[in-house]
A and B are shown apart, each in its own frame.
Chain A
Amino acid sequence: QVQLLESGPGLVKPSHTLSLTCTVSGGSISSGGFYWSWIRQHPGKGLEWIGYIYYSGTTYYNPSLKSRITMSIDTSKNQFSLKVSSVTAADTAVYFCARGDDYDNYLDYWGQGTLVTVSS
């Protein structure tokens, strides 16, 4: 059973960079046929797709966030990461990591989510 777990600071100051890591267990992040995604949910709101990364390092980002997003992957640690630069209060959200199926394109395994608050 694949499991994902997000980790990172719960509080980030405005204009700083938000950094999160997702650790994958129960399967290899290098397995073909999948990509590794980040999704966020503002308090009381719907889901917003941030982007995803393949084990090769190829990335696809939400165009509305692209200028501030960087994703990376560390296959040796079975982890992938998200950085969001120049954060504001509008980046306060629960951040989820998830595995995406590259053939049928759906998100089948999700982390529990981690709340990141942007505040001074």
Chain B
Amino acid sequence: QSALTQPPSASGSPGQSVTISCTGTSSDVGAYNSVSWYQQHPGKAPKLMIYEVYKRPSGVPDRFSGSKSGNTASLTVSGLQAEDEADYYCSSYAGTYVFGTGTKVTVL
């Protein structure tokens, strides 16, 4: 099972929006709505930000939103803040988990 494809980096100024794509196949991202997104700051554990494509766990700001079209899922961070600078990973579950390659988000 190959890793899902994400752009290596993305950036935006404070207050702007950034969107990260996550491309899989018709056997994973395209087949199920079990797409989740994780934020990871350096030296820390990943934190769940989005699950089931667009749902936010309690405590996650509504600046974070998710969507999916075909075999590609997306995470949008609106109103960028300094603390949003981190690595972001998507994941798809199709009986087993597969993670994305990761995207480093920089707040300029």
Contact = CB atoms under 8 A, between A and B. Distances in A.
A46 B22 CA distance: 14
A107 B101 contact: no
A112 B95 CA distance: 25
Contacts of A104: 34, 51-52, 55
Interface residues of B, number: 26
B22 to A, nearest CB: 12
Contact of B34 (A47, A63, A106): A106
B46 A46 contact: no
Interface in B42-72: 44-48, 51-52, 55, 57
A107 B98 contact: no
Given A47-B91, A105-B93, 11 more contacts: A46-B89, A49-B96, A62-B96, A64-B1, A104-B51, A106-B52, A107-B36, A107-B38, A107-B46, A107-B48, A108-B51
Contacts of A37: 97
Interface residues of A, number: 21
Nearest to B55: A104
Contacts, number: 63
Interface in A39-59: 39, 46-49
B95 A46 contact: no
Contacts of A108: 48, 51, 57
Nearest to A62: B96
The 7 closest A-B pairs by CB, nearest first: A105-B93, A106-B51, A49-B97, A106-B36, A110-B45, A105-B34, A47-B99
Nearest to B34: A105
Nearest to A50: B97
B3 interface: yes
Interface in A62-120: 62-64, 96, 101, 104-108, 110-113
Nearest to A111: B45
A112 to B, nearest CB: 5
Contact of A113 (B3, B45, B48): B45
A105 B3 CA distance: 17
Given A60-B95, A107-B38, A47 B46 contact: yes
